[in-house]
Every structure is written in C-alpha cells, then in structure tokens.
Amino acid sequence: MPDLSRFSRRKFLTTVGASATTAVFLKGCMGNPPSDTTTQQSPSSAPAVNVSGGDTPEITKIRLGFIPIVESAPLIVAKEKGFFAKYGMTGAEVSKQANWASARDNVVIGADAGGIDGGQWQMPMPHLITEGIITNGKKVPMYLLAQLVTQGNGIAISGKNTGKGIGLNIKDPDYIKAFEKTEGRKFKAAHTFPNVNQDFWIRYWFAASGIDPDKDIDLLAVPPAETVQGMRNGTMDAFSTGDPWPYRIVSDNIGFMSALTEQIWKCHPEEYLAIRADWVDKYPKAAKAVLKAVMEAQQWCDNPANRKELITIVSGRSYFNVPEKVITPPYEGKYILGDGKPNVDDFKKGPLYWQDDRGSVSYPYKSHDLWFLTETLRWNFHSGAIKDVDAAKKLIDRVNREDLWREAAKEAGVAAADIPTATSRGIETFFDGVKFDPEKPDAYLASLKIKRA
C-alpha cells in the first residue's frame, strides 16, 4: 500500500517515457493520510474524519455523476484512493451515468430525490443547465469548480474513407462536399451530445478546412455503439470521440484517426467538475473538501509512476468496465493514427489531469468558459438564448467559481506557483493559426469564415 502522506508531501522528479524527459512536480496537499487507502466501499469502512481546524465539512456525503471515459478518472480516483474520505467526505459516491442526457436529468432531480448533486460535464453544460436552456426551461443554477482533464479526444474516420488525405488538414474538401453526388447521401458525422465539446471539436476541425458542418455534411448526436457499428458497415463516416475510442477505432480495424484534439488545440480545456449551486451554497466547506480531494486525485493521476494502478482502477467493472489493454496505450500517450500518419508516442499528448505545458489543468479559467460560449454564439446554438458576448460574460461570472478553487488550493497547501494569478490563460492558438484573444472575443468571431453568427 503506498504511503500517501509521504507521497503527497514530496516533490517528484520523474522521467517520462523513454525519450521525453519532463519534470513533473507534484505539490501535495496537507491533510492527514487516511488509515485505509485501498477501498472505501461504504461509509462504515471509511477512515475517521480528521480534518484540521475549521475545515470540517458540514456534510459528509455527496453523489457525483460520471461518464465512463478517461475524463472522469479524478472523481473515481478520489473515491478509490480515499482522497474524498481524507478530507472528510466519507460518504462521497460516484455514480455511473448512462449518457450525458441522463447526467443532465439526474442533476435536475438532485441527489435527495435519487439523482446527483453534480459531477462531470462537457462544456458549457453547467452554464446551459443554469439558464434552463437544455432542461425544458427549468433553471438549476450550477457552479463550475474545476477542470478535470485536458486532451484525450479525437476525430475518427471510417475505413471507407482511407487514402483520401483526411488528416488534421483535409487535403480535398471537395471529396467530402461531393458525397451527396457520389454516394447518394451526405458525409455523415457523429458526436455523443449536441452543442458541447465533442461537437465543437469536430465543427472547428471541419470548418478550418472550408467544410461547413451545417451545410456540407450531416452532423448529429448518435450513441457511440451505433456510431461504431455504422463506421464498420460504411453508413457512418466520422466520429468525434474520447479515449479509449481513438485507440480502439484503429486497433479494431474500424477506421483511422484524422486528428487528435491535442493537435487541433494543444492543452485545450476538456471536461469539468460542476455541482448544483444550492448544494455548494449550503455546504461551502464540503464543496472545498470535494475540490481538495479531486485536486489530490489529479496530482496522483499525473504521476507516471501511478498510471498502471490508475488503469487498473478505472478499467474495473464499476467504472469503465473494459480490458486494461484497451486503455493502456492512450494513458501512455500512444496513438496509432493510421492512414499513413505517423504514430504518436508522448506521455504529454495523452490525457493530463493536473498540469500541462500551459500550466494548471485543474484551475477553471474563465477565459475557457468564454471560448465555449463564444463558439456557442458562432454556431447560433439554442436559437440565441445566449444573446452576445456580454451576456456570456455575465453568465460565466455567475457559474464559474474559480474563487473556491483558489481557496481550496491554498487550504490544501498547493504551491503558490501552481495557483494561476489571472482568470484568463491568455491568447489561445488553434492548429490553423486562428487566435482566440479572451479580451476580444468579437474579433475572433469576425475572423472566422464559416459561422452562423
């Protein structure tokens, strides 16, 4: 059993992979080590609460939803490695959600009525739920508390389209645009839920090569199993998806990867932790305890020495329920792209949970919320329910609680250098050279050739 107290207080200098040498400094949290770090199956087996001073949470239980994909690992690890219990959340539960729509419906219901208090979200679901935009008008204010992960997603293309130069740049956009003439149907692409990350990634990628995702192709939400079946039998052409699919698509001979999202936008924000605002307002110390546990889990996940154990934990029956060998390559940053593209083999190109080359992964930058909402304006999602950039900024100020992240980080003893000083990460650059300056979102919108705004 690892000695977490020693682990969490040490700086680790680790060599990553065989070639790349990367210093990963894991600055620890200050709480007391749990007496039992292996399993927390029920509150009765959890260690005694021993949180210093006035940090004792007002409540010890919370139910957090997760989707069984790599993005959810910090929540699962916080549970399985005893970090929730360490900070006093001895009754924290992580609850597998059937899909994004179920997660949304369950947070509207709330944990007291059999739903969830919060959990893992694609963006900008917390903002949309807050405004009642995707909940039939029912407004359930949410607080965004942390980013869970970066990268780990990609665009898969079916084998039928091999050899057509469909990569990060699409060499022959007319091949895709002419599909209706040549195939009797439009080029068909899928994501798992509309108007969120994976929809944004594939839209950005198509539009950068001059393909209008609303006009030149069919792009729709389809369950992953159905999408993959369609890719096998030649009725589905593209899939915007997350690990482990980018690996499986190639290893199972379904197709190839045109691009990884880390190539589209290096160190991009991916999924987030958000909890109902009424819960956080009622139990602010418990919210910070949850945050501290997730932060410690994120640091634990990023330590290469822990990846093997991480894979064992998340692949388990209650979680991803997949063979370990399926998620091992993506967790090592190993991707076979296929269709003549060079393979990727770089730990830092796989999912990262605590820090990446741009700094903090965990801290929820308001500038990233603004990109997601600006992109929402770009595609005129939700018939203009979010009116303009100013309305977006006001909504972000209500939903994004980076202040709680900072407080929790300080209380947990996270090094000052690991706590961003600004709510903006600054200018973001995409693979096609387009820049998003969070100070000038309207200029970004104006610069885009394909848009509905």
Site residues (vs Ca ion, CB under 5 A): 153, 242
Residue of this chain nearest to Ca ion (CB atom): 242
Q: Which residue(s) pair with 63 in the sheet? A: 93
**Minimum distance, C-beta of residue 248 to Ca ion, in the bound complex (Å):** 15
CB of 69 to Ca ion, least distance (A): 6
Within its chain, how far is the Cα of 103 from the centroid? 15
Select 87 or 245, whichever has its Cβ closest to Ca ion. Answer: 245
At closest approach, how far in Å is the CB of 359 from Ca ion?
Answer: 21
Nearer to Ca ion, 118 or 242 (CB): 242
Task: Please state the closest distance from residue 100 (CB atom) to Ca ion, in A.
Answer: 10
Instruction: For residue 170, give the DSSP letter.
Output: B
Report in angstroms how near the CB of residue 70 gets to Ca ion at its nearest.
Answer: 8
Residue nearer to Ca ion on the CB measure, 89 or 148 = 148
Beta bridge partners of 190: 220, 239
Amino acid type, 304:
P
**Cβ nearer to Ca ion, comparing 37 with 197:** 197
- Shortest spacing between CB 41 and Ca ion, in angstroms: 28
Q: Quote the CA–CA distance of 186 and 293 in Å, as a whole number.
A: 47
Q: Which one, of 360, 329, 352, lies nearest residue 261 by Cα?
A: 352
* Closer to Ca ion by Cβ: residue 134 or 412: 134
CB count in 10 Å sphere of residue 298: 27
Amino acid at 51: V
CA dihedral (155, 198, 353, 168) in degrees, to 10, reads 30
Which residues fall within 8 angstroms of residue 294, CB to CB, at 6 or more apart? 74, 75, 78, 83, 145, 146, 148, 273, 362
Nearer to Ca ion, 37 or 192 (CB): 192
**Cα–Cα dist 311/331, whole Å:** 8
Q: How far is CA 172 from the centre of its chain?
A: 31
* Minimum gap (Å) between residue 120 Cβ and Ca ion: 9
Q: Which one, 87 or 121, has the nearer CB to Ca ion?
A: 121
SS3 64: strand
